[in-house]
Amino acid sequence: MKEPLFEVAQLAHVEIYTPNPDGTLWFFKELLGMEETQREGQSVYLRAYEDFYHHTLKVTEARQPGLGHVAWRTTSPQALERRVEVLKATGLGRGWIDGDHGHGPAFQFVTPDGHPMELLWEVEYWQAPPELATRLLNRPQKRPLRGVPVRRLDHVNLLTRNVTANKEFMMDALGFRLREHIVLDSGAEVGAWMSVSPLVHEVAFMGDRLGVGGRLHHICYWYGVPQHLSDIAEVFSEYGVAIEAGPGKHGISQAYFMYVLEPGGNRVELFGDAGYLIFDPDWKPVTWKEADLDKGIIWYGSPLPAEYFIYGTPDPRQEAAD
């Protein structure tokens, strides 16, 4: 057996674009209870109350919603060097940047579909100011009193014109392991869920039906407590945020989910339980074929609306309409 790679440790942060920064920040701060840790230029940096680093979300004003970039942290500085060499060899490397608020040097690259990504090692740990300091020593700050606070960044889901090619890039270059995927009767692979940890996925690719490159399907923050989906659903209904789907339970990943569009237009998933965790080092990917796909998409709950499978950001239909 070929030994597995343990070179990438985790999803470090995500940057999203928003044409409505006030609305987007209200959503993440007042409803999801996130903390603002920095503001510079057109960007605001946020973290959930159990995120240990400087930020997990960078919100940048832009003409259209969409993905800024996805950043991964390696398991060591040595692993970073090794992975950069591999990335360079793929031809998808874009070069080093000095860093940003909250982290040191990062190597930029893109997926075959064009999603901007970064790989980095050095991070800044966030230090709570006195009024947010907690006696719970394994938590970086007090649980907030605002909204229904999310706990940590969980994963990112990307639309792509070629699921298989992008999946293989993440596996080959970075050591991601395929956990579950959808394979149609035609043999086409139209969805893939991958991880470097026992989580079923830190990243997923789904087919982009509009054929655009580099689009975002959703980012996901984690509650881990089923009731909190009901609580935040109440809040969304009270405060006029449209729930796209859920609460419900996916078969794939066993996630208890809810999807909403934040005021900037990006889809956000709230993850309401722990799904299941994969500790088996020799995991055989779960293949969902058409006959089982209904249960794979929805284990219980209502069917997803048609737009779930089409809409991503940016939305070329909206751009065309502008």
Nearer to a second copy, 123 or 212 (CB): 123
Nearer to a second copy, 90 or 302 (CB): 302
From 281, 306, 321, 322, residue interacting with a second copy (rule: CB under 8 A): 281
Nearer to a second copy, 61 or 273 (CB): 273
The stretch among 102-110, 112-120, 183-191, 227-235 that binds a second copy (CB under 8 A) is 227-235
Nearer to a second copy, 165 or 235 (CB): 235
Cis peptide before 247 (omega within 30 of 0): yes
Parallel/antiparallel/unpaired status of strands 35-40 and 43-47: antiparallel
Parallel/antiparallel/unpaired status of strands 189-195 and 177-183: antiparallel
Question: What is the DSSP secondary structure assignment for residue 317, as one 8-state letter?
Answer: H
From 117, 245, 270, 297, residue interacting with a second copy (rule: CB under 8 A): 245
Nearer to a second copy, 67 or 260 (CB): 260
Question: At closest approach, how far in Å is the CB of 91 from a second copy?
Answer: 27
Site residues (CB under 8 A) for a second copy, limited to 246-265:
246-249, 251-254, 256
Question: At closest approach, how far in Å is the CB of 303 from a second copy?
Answer: 8
CA 7, distance to chain mean position in Å, is 19
Report the alpha-carbon distance of residue 116 to residue 23 in Å, rounded.
24
Rg (CA), the chain: 19
The stretch among 101-109, 182-190, 276-284, 310-318 that binds a second copy (CB under 8 A) is 276-284
Question: What is the DSSP secondary structure assignment for residue 254, as one 8-state letter?
Answer: G
Question: At closest approach, how far in Å is the CB of 43 from a second copy?
Answer: 24
Site residues (CB under 8 A) for a second copy, limited to 57-86:
73-79
Instruction: Extract the tokens encoding 206.
Output: 């789904």
What DSSP letter does each residue of 53-118 carry, written as one string?
BS-SEEEEE-SS-EEEEEEEEESSHHHHHHHHHHHHHHT-EEEEE--BTTB--EEEEE-TT--EEE
Report the alpha-carbon distance of residue 15 to residue 157 in Å, rounded.
13
The stretch among 94-102, 157-165, 205-213, 268-276 that binds a second copy (CB under 8 A) is 268-276
From 92, 97, 128, 274, residue interacting with a second copy (rule: CB under 8 A): 274
HEC secondary structure over 147-201? CCCCCEEEEEEEEECCHHHHHHHHHHHHCCEEEEEEECCCCCEEEEEEECCCCCC
The residue count for binding a second copy (CB under 8 A) is 77
As to burial, measured by CB atoms within 10 angstroms (0-12 exposed, 13-18 middle, 19+ buried), residue 31 is: buried
Q: Does 20 bind a second copy (CB under 8 A)?
A: no
Site residues (CB under 8 A) for a second copy, limited to 81-140:
134-139
Q: Does 308 bind a second copy (CB under 8 A)?
A: no
Question: At closest approach, how far in Å is the CB of 268 from a second copy?
Answer: 15
Q: Does 48 bind a second copy (CB under 8 A)?
A: no
Site residues (CB under 8 A) for a second copy, limited to 172-211:
180, 197-200
Question: What is the DSSP secondary structure assignment for residue 134, as one 8-state letter?
Answer: -
